[in-house]
Structure 1
Amino acid sequence: MGVHPRTERPLPELEGVRHHFVETDGVRLHVAEAGSGEPLVLLHGFPQHWYAWHRVLPLLSGDFRLICLDLPGFGWSDVPAEGCSTDDRVRLVLGALDRLGLERVGLVGHDWGAWTGFALALRAPERFGAFLALNMVHPWPTQRALLGTAWRFWYTALLEYPLIGRQVIRRRPGLLGYLLRRGLGDGPGWPQEELAEYAAAGSEPGAAYAGEKLHWGFVAGDIPRLALGRFRRQRLAVRTLVLAGDRDPVIRPALLAGADRYADDLRTEVLAGSGHFLPHERPREVADAARQLFLEAAGEGGPAAR
């Protein structure tokens, strides 16, 4: 599989984090690890990278081995020429788990990382003891909810079209900063250096290409599946908790209804005053929810590396 050059930008520094790479299907994925114990894999959203979890990691590193993957094309991972669709991300993440020798893990995902997480849990439920999804709709939203909130995704039209989306992302880093600022609720704002980091990282040529491909892959692959009801033929067997913010401008609480009949154990909690970036806005609540969910699952034979 061909790849574009990955970034040479310096890594943000965070005490206790160790960095390495795993290669799967010809793609090198960057891994930032912290802590020890039962393994949890954390998948970031757009336009961020592993550092999106930096407020959460210190709160969980005493209990878990935290494995933050840079999704293909983002952060310090390779940029596959073809490999940024949901199916591609699932294949590469599962390959990374194999290379890391992890048979079964806990899974945390935010934004597009959470959409990837749902796809992973449906594809290989035996690999995941439990799943914490942050700020993302599940695969079974009601038609009424979709129609009522579709306009909130207006900005994706700027990002998704082939050859155009990458140019918008590359040449308009201010758009990424706007989306990050727009997504916040009543919690703390972005420190200027962190906002600059994500805007700069997300607008690099490889990441801009991957951002376009990620959004277009959803349009070309996942939306038809939603429209044709193909997800309704699948059942979520992995214990799942969805955390959302009532101030999220994109993933509104109405989108989170409708999954009960398609999941064995799916709960939803909406945090008041919170927006789209819970790992930044409410790291304590995210960490507490993760600890309770995954320690319970581990006690039942859940996310242990066997």
Structure 2
Amino acid sequence: MASSTTPFTAAVDRPLPHAEGAKHSWLEVRGVRLHIAEYGTGAPVLLLHGFPQHWFAWHRVATLSAAGHHLICPDLRGFGWSEQTRRGYDIDGLSDDVLALLDVLGLDRVYLVGHDWGAHVGFRLCLRAPERFGGYLALNMAHPWARQRAILPNVWRQWYTAFVEYPVLGRAVLRHWPAFTRFLLRHQVADRSLWRADELAEFSAAAQAGAHAGQDMFWQYVVREIPALLRGRWRAQQLTVPTVLLGGERDNVIPPSMLAGGESHADDLTVRIVPGVGHFLPRESPQAVAGAMRELFATGR
């Protein structure tokens, strides 16, 4: 396992934020240096962050969950302190990175947690390689079988993606308009005063530094994932990994109505709605996330 105190060509070139108990390393994965933060010892749990965040998104959950678990929090390719590349930000490419990371770490099977885009990658991983995951906790993301009658009335909620997804424009917005990222962070939680000033500064700066990765990830969804969904790519796929899907009652990006309808495509899927919170469950209700982790991963339900 290769490690270093300084990554090569990282998305972010400033010091790592402090998180009690976190250990940091950089690993060579599919020819790319990926940064990981690790907490605790015990059963391995892989946690995948969303946009516009990185490993630090999990630090509040980690303080509640590290006992008895080995939490592994990677920065996805091009985000945080992982290396930026020109390509590789589509969901299958990011999934390939995660599976290769598990191989580098020597882990045959782990528990999985994903938030937002990380949860989208998580669903793909559980469909592609279910044998690698003992249980999956998905946060603030629709499953691959969301019903059209739930999607269509909520398409307007994705208005902000028009400022991010297009080549050139999206990179310019993320790189030169950090107030836009701060607005999204505030807009997507139920209580806007929840964010500390240093957290807003950290994640808006991360979006600036990883502007290419952020823009291309959204664009690849447009050109790859939307056509695949329209073709019904996942219609015949069955989710066999025991899964709990947590949503926020006041999530204005992925509302509760978009989380229903996946039970017929899964062997064991439970949907729960956390009252009074929005789209950033790891920040708004780390206790609910930690509690769901303990229940799902302890029982293997």
TM-score of the superposition, structure 2-length normalised? 0.95
Query: Given residue 282 of structure 1, which amino acid in structure 2 is its aligned partner?
Result: S
2:38 aligns to what? 33
Q: Deviation of residue 163 (structure 1)?
A: 2.0
Contact 1:29–1:76 under 8 Å retained in 2:
yes
Give distance in 1, aligned partners of 2:271 and 2:80. Answer: 30
Give distance in 1, aligned partners of 2:298 and 2:175. Answer: 41
Helix, strand or coil for the counterpart of 2:271? strand
2:218 aligns to what? 215
1:12 aligns to what? 17
Give distance in 1, aligned partners of 2:10 and 2:61. Answer: 30
Helix, strand or coil for the counterpart of 1:106? strand
Give distance in 1, aligned partners of 2:160 and 2:124. Answer: 23
Helix, strand or coil for the counterpart of 1:15? coil
- 1:257 and 2:288 aligned: no
Contact 1:237–1:264 under 8 Å retained in 2:
yes
| Cα deviations by residue, 1:91-127 (Å, 9 ceiling, x for unpaired) | 0010000000010000000000000000010110000
Helix, strand or coil for the counterpart of 1:235? coil
Helix, strand or coil for the counterpart of 1:45? coil
- Pairing partner for 1:57 from 56, 59, 62: 62
- 1:170 and 2:199 aligned: no
Root-mean-square deviation over aligned CA pairs: 1.3
Contact 1:41–1:67 under 8 Å retained in 2:
yes
Contact 1:259–1:266 under 8 Å retained in 2:
yes
Give distance in 2, aligned partners of 1:248 and 1:89. Answer: 25
Give distance in 2, aligned partners of 1:29 and 1:248. Answer: 30
Give distance in 2, aligned partners of 1:34 and 1:214. Answer: 27
Query: Given residue 271 of structure 2, which amino acid in structure 1 is its aligned partner?
Result: T
1:198 aligns to what? 203
Give distance in 2, aligned partners of 1:15 and 1:281. Answer: 19
Give distance in 1, aligned partners of 2:193 and 2:128. Answer: 36
- 1:78 and 2:83 aligned: yes
TM-score of the superposition, structure 1-length normalised? 0.94
Contact 1:187–1:281 under 8 Å retained in 2:
no
- Pairing partner for 2:283 from 280, 283, 298: 280
Equivalenced residue count is: 294
2:292 aligns to what? 289
Query: Given residue 15 of structure 1, which amino acid in structure 2 is its aligned partner?
Result: E
Contact 1:188–1:281 under 8 Å retained in 2:
no
Give distance in 2, aligned partners of 1:255 and 1:145. Answer: 5
Query: Given residue 80 of structure 2, which amino acid in structure 1 is its aligned partner?
Result: G
Give distance in 1, aligned partners of 2:230 and 2:299. Answer: 35
- 1:238 and 2:226 aligned: no
Please give the residue correspondences for 1:144-159 in structure 2 after superposition, counting only pairs within 5 Å.
144-159=149-164
Contact 2:186–2:192 under 8 Å retained in 1:
no
Helix, strand or coil for the counterpart of 1:231? coil
Aligned residues with identical type, % of pairs: 52
1:131 aligns to what? 136
Q: Deviation of residue 187 (structure 1)?
A: 8.0
Contact 1:187–1:282 under 8 Å retained in 2:
no
Query: Given residue 226 of structure 2, which amino acid in structure 1 is its aligned partner?
Result: I
Q: Deviation of residue 41 (structure 1)?
A: 0.2
1:141 aligns to what? 146
Q: Deviation of residue 7 (structure 1)?
A: 2.2
Gaps of 5+ in 2: 1-7
- Pairing partner for 1:271 from 270, 274, 292: 274
1:304 aligns to what? none
| Cα deviations by residue, 1:169-227 (Å, 9 ceiling, x for unpaired) | 111111110000001114861000111110011111xx100001110111111111111
Give distance in 2, aligned partners of 1:14 and 1:189. Answer: 18
Query: Given residue 216 of structure 1, which amino acid in structure 2 is its aligned partner?
Result: W
- Pairing partner for 2:251 from 248, 251, 259: 248
Give distance in 1, aligned partners of 2:132 and 2:193. Answer: 35
- Pairing partner for 1:91 from 91, 96, 103: 96
After TM superposition, the runs of 4+ consecutive aligned structure 1 residues lying more than 3 A away are: 3-6
